[in-house]
């Protein structure tokens, strides 16, 4: 069930005092195109499920797991059956090295099955079942344990993807990402910390010790995004924080987040989030946190 939808933006009502929401959904109801800042994990437990994400249709069989990254517009046609719907905000753990990189790699979504990721699938599926149990128990440390399981799922997916890519790549190019992993992590950390500054591709390449052209190719391989796209995504994240936590004007936020002018900021924000900065702030301020039991019929 979508509890609060404004345009295409859904405000997720997390379990009280957490950054999570999980429920078993058995409604044969159409959820129109929408997006939210949380990652959404869908897994049919009975029957099949159809998901349209960023224009691509995915047909999920029982046990298949679809990870939908925050910001991705997705449409859920009405389907019979039951499915797990798990929503998680990655904001509390984004400072952990590698989390954002993995999220970039699976954006806008990624389907995990026994065929697409045979080595990772059994453990990813078990982790999701464990998350369901932890959510239902609702102990003091349940949220921490759920985040640990969620990070493990991302790590398993990323490692298996890397293995598959290496198997499909010539031996001469398979190891270049591993060789330069430390440099790429350092550059990504630098961009996160200094994204509001005027950082150029040439500066980032120099920081890593590479030529501009080699760095651009390496960076895209490492993040599945261009340098410019990655920089803008970090600036959007900074802007979101300022929209939520301050009373600065939109123009002031644009400047503090590193955008050259208000028009450029509003255009980039709408492209990334599907709504204007002003509406994003209003939607957040109008949100009331609420508790959602695990097996409540939605």
Q: Where are the domains of the chain?
A: 5-168, 173-285
In this structure, the number of other CB atoms found within 10 A of the CB of residue 96 comes to: 11
Tell me what the pLDDT averaged over the chain comes to. 86
For 139, counting Cβ atoms within 10 Å of its Cβ (0-12 exposed, 13-18 middle, 19+ buried), the class is: exposed
Whether the pLDDT of residue 21 is over 50: the answer is yes
151, 157 contact by CB (below 8 A): no
| CATH class belonging to 173-285 | mainly alpha
Predicted pLDDT of residue 71: 80
Using the predicted structure, report yes or no on whether residue 288 has a pLDDT greater than 60.
Answer: no
For the chain, percent of residues with pLDDT exceeding 90: 54
DSSP 134: H
All residues at 6 or more sequence positions from 14 whose CB lies less than 8 Å from its CB, including other chains? 20, 21, 87, 89, 289, 292
**pLDDT reported for residue 103:** 85
Share of residues in the chain with pLDDT > 70 (%): 90
**pLDDT above 80 (res 291):** no
> Which of 7-11, 70-74, 106-110, 169-173 is the least confident region?
169-173
Give residue-wise pLDDT tens across range 111-131: 999 999 999 999 999 999 999
CATH architecture of 5-168: Sandwich (2.60)
pLDDT in tens, 206-251: 998 999 999 998 888 887 789 998 999 889 989 988 998 889 999 9
Question: What's the confidence (pLDDT) of residue 37?
Answer: 83
Mean pLDDT across 144-171: 84
Phi and psi dihedrals of 284, rounded to 5? -65, -45
Q: Is the pTM of this model over 0.85?
A: no
């Amino acid at each position: 069930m979508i509890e609060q939808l404004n345009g295409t933006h859904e405000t997720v009502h997390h379990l009280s005092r957490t950054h999570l929401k999980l429920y078993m959904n058995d409604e044969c109801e159409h959820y129109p195109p929408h997006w939210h800042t949380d990652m959404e994990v869908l897994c049919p437990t009975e029957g099949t499920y159809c998901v349209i994400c960023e224009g691509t249709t995915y047909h999920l069989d029982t046990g298949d797991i679809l990870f939908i990254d925050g910001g991705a517009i997705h449409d859920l046609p009405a389907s019979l059956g039951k499915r797990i719907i798990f929503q998680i905000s990655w904001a509390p753990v984004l400072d952990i090295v590698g989390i954002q990189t993995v999220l970039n790699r699976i954006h806008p979504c990624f389907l995990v099955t026994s065929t697409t990721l045979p080595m990772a699938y059994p453990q990813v599926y078990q982790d999701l079942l464990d998350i369901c149990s932890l959510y239902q128990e609702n102990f003091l440390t349940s949220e921490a344990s759920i985040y640990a399981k969620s990070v493990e799922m991302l790590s398993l997916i990323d490692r298996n993807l890397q293995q598959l890519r290496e198997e499909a790549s010539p031996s001469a190019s398979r190891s270049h990402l591993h060789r330069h992993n430390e440099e790429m992590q350092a550059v990504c950390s630098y961009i996160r910390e200094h994204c509001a500054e005027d950082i150029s591709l040439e500066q980032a390449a120099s920081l890593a010790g590479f030529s501009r052209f080699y760095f651009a190719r390496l960076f895209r391989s490492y993040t599945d995004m261009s340098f410019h796209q990655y920089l803008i995504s970090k600036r959007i994240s900074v802007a979101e924080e300022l929209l939520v936590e301050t009373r600065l004007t939109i123009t002031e936020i644009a400047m503090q987040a590193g955008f050259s002018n208000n028009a450029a900021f509003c255009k980039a924000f709408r492209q990334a989030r599907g709504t204007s900065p002003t509406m994003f702030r209003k939607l957040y301020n109008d949100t009331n946190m609420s508790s959602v039991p695990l097996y409540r019929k939605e």
